[in-house]
A = this chain, B = another copy of it.
Amino acid sequence: MATAPARPGEFELIARHFAPIAGPGGLGLIDDAGLLRPGRGFEIVVTTDALVAGVHFLADDPPGSIARKALAVNLSDLAAKGARPDGFVLSLALAPGWDEAWLAAFAAGLAAIAAEAGCPLIGGDTVSTPGPLTLSITAFGSVPAGRMVLRSGAKYGDVLLVSGTIGDGALGLKVHAPDAPAWVAGLDQAARDELADRYLHPRPRLALAQALQAHASAAMDVSDGLVGDLAKLVTASGVGAEVDLDAVPFSAAVRSAVMADPALAELAWTGGDDYEILCTVPDEKYSSLIAAADAAGVPLVRIGRIAGVPGTVLYREAGRPREFARGSFVHF
């Protein structure tokens, strides 16, 4: 007589570390599948992001930070689409040498952001890999039917806006990674800490989702760099854009880095890992979008307008045209 379960290790680890993060749709994480129960009249927005150690984060980053980032980048997509988070599934390929302490810290970070966002775990798969730690999260959110905010909805004449500040993540990676460049030493400790934190712990703009859903004509999150992501937005929408680079919001930390080395502005505009919202709004809805963003506590500022040749973006810095050789992070 064989005593079940046959693989107590895997089941115990899931029960101990992941089941506490599960919502009702996770069915205790003991089934082959989870359940989404959409509200009547709602559609489900689905987004997926893969992260590989050494590519999207550093293998020795704190495990809780890795977990937080993996879910945050997906929540950022849901926010940009105007969706309210409903749940997520986690696919985890563990690299050789992991131990339960690592897994516990990973799960604790995941539990924290899942609770903050109201986005429970509803399923997953855990396997081993001889390669680097690899995670893939697929997240789900609800929008009223037909109300997902698309990339492709920008119209000529619309105002172009961005939330928060741009460049912190890209400069933060330089601060955080080994062999920091010389300019890092010129920053004060508070600025270094802030930038590294913005890289390690993206803050998805879920508070903005409702405002976008109600007012924006198009939106996407800025993950691969403002310049590269705006190129995608104008291409998807079949429009062009004009951007005043001086209007792109920088944090105090980025401003002081750029002051010390003006070349860093390009890294800020193109580097990625911002997880801010890039969106467009028709003139007549501009005030209501700004009011809703204010009410949500999220800064949203005008950086340009939808105009010009379809598929192109005209950038101006101090009134003069500015070109970018490298648009954004290239995945492969």
Q: Min CB distance, A50 to chain B, in Å?
A: 4
Number of copies: 2
A266 at the interface (CB under 8 A from B): no
- Chain B residues, Cβ within 8 Å of A7: 228, 327-328, 330-331
Task: Say yes or no: A231-B6 contact (C-beta < 8 A), given A37-B43, A323-B1.
Answer: yes
Q: Min CB distance, A54 to chain B, in Å?
A: 6
Q: Min CB distance, A268 to chain B, in Å?
A: 16
Are A150 and B55 interface neighbours, CB within 8 A? no
A19 at the interface (CB under 8 A from B): no
> In the complex, what distance in Å separates the CA atom of A236 from the CA atom of B14?
14
- Chain B residues, Cβ within 8 Å of A51: 127
The listed residue (B127, B221, B231) touching A50 by CB distance below 8 A is B127
A164 at the interface (CB under 8 A from B): no
> In the complex, what distance in Å separates the CA atom of A9 from the CA atom of B136?
22
A85 at the interface (CB under 8 A from B): no
- Chain B residues, Cβ within 8 Å of A156: none
Are A49 and B125 interface neighbours, CB within 8 A? yes
- How would residues 148 to 168 of chain A score, 1 for a CB under 8 Å from any chain B CB and 0 otherwise? 101110000000000000000
Residue of B with least CB distance to A13:
B332
- Chain B residues, Cβ within 8 Å of A89: 46, 48, 138
- Chain B residues, Cβ within 8 Å of A312: 1-4
Task: Say yes or no: A81-B2 contact (C-beta < 8 A), given A129-B55, A132-B130, A132-B131.
Answer: no
Query: Interface segment, A25-33, A112-120, A254-262, A289-297?
Result: A25-33
Task: Say yes or no: A27-B150 contact (C-beta < 8 A), given A7-B228, A50-B93.
Answer: yes
Are A126 and B332 interface neighbours, CB within 8 A? yes
Closest 10 CB pairs of A and B: A131-B131, A6-B327, A4-B231, A91-B136, A136-B136, A36-B44, A33-B47, A138-B138, A128-B332, A50-B91
Query: What are 5 inter-chain pairs, A to B, with CB distance below 8 A?
Result: A9-B332, A33-B45, A33-B78, A48-B91, A48-B124
